[in-house]
Amino acid sequence: MARKPVGFGEDELRALAGDRSFERGLGYLDAVSGLDVGDDSVTAVVQGTDGYEVELTLGGHIGVLGRCDCPYGQEGNFCKHCVAVGLTVLRQAEEIPRQRAAARTRASGLEAWLTALSRDELLALVREQVAGDRELRRRLELRAAAARSDLGTVRDRVLALLDPRPFARYGYVEYDAAPGYARQVQEAADALRALSAGGQSACAVGLAEEAIRALGEAYGEIDDSDGVVGQAVAAVAEAHLEACSVARPDPERLAEWLVGHVLGDWNDATDLDPLDYADVLGHTGVARLRQLAAEARRRSPRGWAERYLMERLVHAEGDVDALVALYAQDLVPSGATHLRIAEELDAAGRPEDALAWAERGLRDTAGEAHVDGRLVDYACARYSRAGREAETVAIRRDRFLAERSLAAYRQLRAAARSAGRWETERAAALAALREDAPQERSGWHRGPVLIDALLDDGDLDTAWREASGRADDRQWQQLADLSRETRPADALGVYLRLVELLKEPTGERVYERLARLLLDVRSCHRALGTEDAFTPYLAGLRAELKRRRKLMTVLDGHGL
C-alpha cells in the first residue's frame, strides 16, 4: 500500500472512482503528460479520445478532489483520467512535498515581484500579456468599456460574445464546440454584472433582456448535452435579476416582459421563473402578472406554458380552492391531476376533501388500462390507515381487472391477505387470467400473466398443468429452475428443448446462456441418477458445434 505524503492513496482513488473507472485508469498511466505540481493542486493532460485537462487537489481535511473536462468528468464524476493522474502522483509521492514547497516559493516570489513593480512597469507587463492573449484582451476591453460607461461598446461586445456563428459548423454548434461558446456566454454574464456594479444597472437590465432573447434564439442550434451552455445562460439570467433588484424598473413593464418571455419561444434556454422577481415586481407588478397570465390562459387554454405560468401564480397566492379549480380544468385521463389536487388539499390540512378527490380520480379512470399508480397507492394507503381493508381490496381488484398485470396481481394479493380474503380473491383473479391466457404462443416474452402469477405464488403444480401450450420460453425456464429438485425429469425436458433452440444463434451472450443451461441439464441428470447419459450428450453437442471456437472456450471455462 502506498504511503500518503500527498494526502491520499490508492484506496481513496478507488473509492472515489469506483472499481470500473479505477481499473480503466490503470490503462492511462502512459497517457499522462505535463504534470504540474502547485501548492494545493496538481494539473496534467491525459491523452484519451482528446487531450483532457485534469486537476486534483492535494489532501487537506476534505481529501482529494478531481476535475476533468472529459464528458464523464464534466458530470461531476471522478473519472479514469483523474485516476491516472492520481496514480502518477502516487508514483512520485516522495518528490511531491519538495515540489509543493517549490511551488509556494515561486508563488510568493511572483507576488513580491509584482508588488515591487512601478506603475509603468505593471502597465508594460499588462500590455505585453494583452498583445499575446486574445481572450485576455477581449475581457479587459469589455471591463474598460463598462468602467467608462461606454455603453455602445459594451453592448456590441456582449452581443458579439453571444453570437454562436464562430463556433458553428453547417449552422449548428456541435458538442465539442459547446464549451468554448459557454465560456463566451459566461464572459457576457460577467460584463452585465460589471455594468450593475459600475452604477449602470438600468442599462444592464435592457442589455440582459437583449442577451436573453439572443440566447433563446440560438440555444436550439447547440448540442448542449453536458449542460455547460445552459449553466452559462443561467448566469446571464441571474445577472438580469440582480440588475433589476438594483435598478427597480417599472413593475408593469417588467411583468409584461417576463410573461412575454415565458410564453415565447426563448424560455427553453433560461427557464425563467417570474416569481423569482416578486420582490422587484411588488404588488403592482404581481397583479399585472396575474392579469396577463389569465388573459393568456383564456386565449390558449391547452397551452403548456400558459398553464404552467397560471399554476405558479395561483400556487404562490396560497388560495387552495382557486388552485384546485385551475387544476380541475384539465384533468388528465391517467388520474395524475386528481392526485395532484389531493396532495395540495392534504398539504392545506383538508384530508377529507383530499380523499374525495382521490376517490373521484378512481371513478373517472375506472376501466382505463393505464392509470397513475400513485393515485391508487394514495387511496389505498388512506383506507388502510382508517382500517377500511375491504375498500382497499376493492380498489386493488378493480385495478387488477383493468390491467391484468403481474404487478397488479401482487398488489391485490397483498391487500387481500391483509384483509384475510386472499383465498376467495385468488380464485377469481386466476379465473380472469385463465380467460386471457393465449394459446400456442412461442418466444421469450409472450407468455400469459397467468403463468407468471402461479410462479409468483409458488404454485408450481398448477403452473405445470397450465403451462402446456401457453407458457413462453422465459416462463418454461423459470418453471424448470424452481422445480429442478422436486421434478428433475420435467425440468430436464425443458432444459434440453431450450438447448436445441440455442444451437443456431451465435454470440458470447448466447454461448454463456447455453453453458448455464448445460450445467442445469447436468444437475437434473445427477438428481435422476443418470449422469452417465450426460457425458455422451455433451460430447455429441461439442462435436456438432466444434467449429464455434468461442463457444468451445466458454464451455471449457464452465468445466463442460
pLDDT in tens, 245-301: 999 999 999 999 999 988 887 667 777 889 999 999 999 999 999 999 989 988 888
What are phi and psi for residue 41, nearest 5 degrees?
-155, 165
Q: Report whether pLDDT(2) > 70.
A: no
| pLDDT score recorded for residue 4 | 58
Q: Which residues of 408-440 are buried (b: 16+ CB within 10 A; e: fewer)?
A: bbbbbbebbeebeebeebbeebbebbeeebeee
- The Cα-based distances of 536 to 198, 288, 323, 531, 539 in angstroms read 90, 87, 75, 10, 5
3-state secondary structure of 43: strand
Q: Which helix (H) or strand (E) holds 353?
A: helix 351-364
pLDDT tens-digit series, residues 406-433: 999 999 999 999 999 999 999 999 999 9
| pLDDT score recorded for residue 267 | 65
Percent of the chain with pLDDT over 70: 96
Q: Report whether pLDDT(1) > 80.
A: no
Q: Give 3's pLDDT tier (boundaries 50, 70, 90).
A: very low
| Cα–Cα dist 129/332, whole Å | 62
| Cα–Cα dist 215/159, whole Å | 10
Q: DSSP code of 274?
A: G
Global pTM value: 0.58
Q: DSSP code of 53?
A: E
| pLDDT score recorded for residue 87 | 92
pLDDT tens-digit series, residues 346-391: 999 999 999 999 999 999 988 777 889 999 999 999 999 998 999 9
| pLDDT score recorded for residue 266 | 67
3-state secondary structure of 484: coil
Q: Give 64's pLDDT tier (boundaries 50, 70, 90).
A: confident
Indicate the domain borders of the chain. 10-116, 126-249, 484-557
Check if the beta carbon of residue 480 is closer than 8 Å to that of residue 520: yes
| pLDDT score recorded for residue 142 | 76
| Cα–Cα dist 283/273, whole Å | 17
pLDDT tens-digit series, residues 175-211: 888 888 998 899 899 889 988 888 889 999 999 999 9
| pLDDT score recorded for residue 62 | 56
**The Cα angle at residue 385 between residues 382 and 388, in degrees rounded to 5:** 80
Q: Which helix (H) or strand (E) holds 528?
A: helix 508-528
Mean pLDDT of 508-525: 92
Mean pLDDT, the chain, rounded, equals 88
Q: Report whether pLDDT(243) > 90.
A: yes
Within 13 Å, how many C-alpha atoms sit on residue 384's CB side? 16
What sign does the dihedral 316-320-325-329 (CA atoms) show? positive
Assign 3-class secondary structure to 107-158: HHHHHHHHHHCCHHHHHHHHHHHHHHCHHHHHHHHHHHHHHCCCHHHHHHHH
Comparing 44-53, 102-111, 138-147, 268-277, which segment has the lowest mean pLDDT? Answer: 138-147
| Cα–Cα dist 275/316, whole Å | 8
What sign does the dihedral 135-140-146-150 (CA atoms) show? negative
Q: Give 440's pLDDT tier (boundaries 50, 70, 90).
A: very low
Q: Give 441's pLDDT tier (boundaries 50, 70, 90).
A: very low
Nearest residue to 332 (alpha-carbon basis) of 365, 356, 299, 294:
365
Q: Report whether pLDDT(527) > 80.
A: yes
Q: Which three cell numbers stand for residue 554?
A: 466458454
Q: Report whether pLDDT(316) > 70.
A: yes
pLDDT tens-digit series, residues 77-117: 889 999 999 999 988 888 888 888 898 898 889 889 989 98
3-state secondary structure of 267: helix
pLDDT tens-digit series, residues 465-492: 999 888 889 999 999 999 999 999 999 9
